[in-house]
Amino acid sequence: MDWESALKDYLLYLKLERGLAENSIENYRYDIKKIITYLTEFKIDASPVKINNETLKQFIYHISKAVNPRSQARIISGLRNFFDYLVFENYRKDNPTDLIETPKIGRKLPETLSLGDIDCLISNIDLSYQFNGVNLGERNRAIIETLYSCGLRVSELIELKISDLFFDEGFIKVLGKGNKERFVPISTSTQGYINIWKSIRQQILVDIGSKDVLFLNYKGKKLTRAMVFTIIKRLVEKSGLKKNVSPHTFRHSFATHLLENGADLRAIQMMLGHESITTTEIYMHVDRSHLTDILNKYHPRK
């Protein structure tokens, strides 16, 4: 079995058996392609069923010169999962990554925006902005409000369907990682901004494949992840914020602000769609001063 056929089988397994999203599958492909490139560049003859621990160590040492410890850890984890699959399918008897240590990395705390930052960004959206006769300013406001109001991932935002909006009940249905569905509360104000965009959307000639997609570009097609990043980047520049802001920053801010205002961690986990509450617990470390205030206010022996 060569690398390309093994990779093809593995990616098919991730899609059909594990139900991973396309973005996750692409990340696995990207990382495994790195070792294929390395073996080709250095003319090392080692198939996926024959490659040994020593060759993998040399590969890890090679990439350590170009990527940070966090990226190294992700690549090693991806390789470990790949070889676990080969063992599971009886292509090999051992996993050559078993004795490879993952580099120690500190817990990276998420960047967050203050409520003032959020207000500043939204106030700088040009609601009259049009392109090819389509008002995209109202769309951009609805996008920012939805990211922050519901704590969505960018992939969840661009996949949001009109049929996923249950405004009478006060929820939206979100398709998260691993194609797992969850219902997230949505504020009445954000519902209003989405409804404004929906009325504008009706004036667009919608592409046949995007009939039910909520957020569209001026051509009537589903927005790309890159376009959402661009919208936010331009807005941050216009607002003069000196922070590294991405779509995920709004998700972090959503969770942090809920926690600061007394929301239950389990409830935040459910709204974010985290598989494990351990992932959600990172927000407990974002604002320690807030936790101190909670202790001083509520503990009987403060």
CATH number at residue 40: 1.10.150
Structural domains of the chain, count: 2
pLDDT at 82: 94
Q: Do residues 213 and 165 make contact, with C-beta atoms less than 8 angstroms apart?
A: no
105 within some domain:
no
Instruction: Give yes or no: residues 122 and 83 share one domain.
Output: no
Instruction: Give yes or no: residues 221 and 290 share one domain.
Output: yes
Q: How far apart are CA 74 and CA 25, in angstroms?
A: 13
pLDDT at 22: 86
One-letter identity of residue 210 = S
What is this structure's pTM?
Answer: 0.65
Instruction: Give yes or no: residues 143 and 260 share one domain.
Output: yes
Instruction: Give yes or no: residues 277 and 155 share one domain.
Output: yes
Q: CB neighbours of 159 closer than 8 A, spacing ≥ 6?
A: 175, 213, 222
176 within some domain:
yes
Which is catalytic among the residues 173, 177, 198, 290? 177
Q: Is 274 a catalytic residue?
A: yes
Q: How far apart are CA 190 and CA 261, in angstroms?
A: 19
Burial class (CB in 10 A: 0-12, 13-18, 19+), 206: middle
Q: CB neighbours of 119 closer than 8 A, spacing ≥ 6?
A: none
Query: Residue 287 corresponds to which tokens in the numbers above?
Result: 């604002």
Instruction: Give yes or no: residues 131 and 260 share one domain.
Output: yes
Instruction: Give yes or no: residues 251 and 122 share one domain.
Output: yes
Instruction: Give yes or no: residues 134 and 36 share one domain.
Output: no
Q: How many CA atoms lie within 13 A of 95 on its CB side?
A: 18
Q: How far apart are CA 258 and CA 59, in angstroms?
A: 43
Chunked mean pLDDT (size 10), the chain, 302 residues: 92 88 88 93 92 91 84 89 92 90 67 92 94 92 96 94 96 88 94 96 92 94 93 95 91 89 84 79 59 61 56
What are residue 182's DSSP bridge partners? 174
Instruction: Give yes or no: residues 140 and 241 share one domain.
Output: yes
59 within some domain:
yes
Instruction: Give yes or no: residues 139 and 218 share one domain.
Output: yes
261 within some domain:
yes
Q: Is 29 a catalytic residue?
A: no
Q: Is 161 a catalytic residue?
A: no
Which is catalytic among the residues 222, 251, 252, 257? 251
Q: Is 43 a catalytic residue?
A: no
Instruction: Give yes or no: residues 10 and 125 share one domain.
Output: no
CB atoms within 10 A of CB 33: 13
108 within some domain:
no
Structural domain ending residue among the three candidates 88, 106, 134: 88
74 within some domain:
yes
pLDDT at 20: 83
Which is catalytic among the residues 141, 153, 252, 257? 153
- Which residue range is the domain that position 30 belongs to? 3-88
100 within some domain:
no
Q: Is 266 a catalytic residue?
A: no
pLDDT at 80: 92
CA 146 → CA 1, 151, 286, distances in Å? 47, 8, 22
Which is catalytic among the residues 92, 198, 274, 290? 274
DSSP 197-243: HHHHHTTS---GGGTTBSSB-TTSSBPPHHHHHHHHHHHHHHHT--S
pLDDT at 296: 66
Instruction: Give yes or no: residues 122 and 209 share one domain.
Output: yes
300 within some domain:
no
Residue 120 sits in a domain of what CATH number?
1.10.443.10
Instruction: Give yes or no: residues 82 and 132 share one domain.
Output: no
Structural domain ending residue among the three candidates 45, 69, 88: 88
pLDDT at 69: 81
Q: Do residues 171 and 185 make contact, with C-beta atoms less than 8 angstroms apart?
A: yes
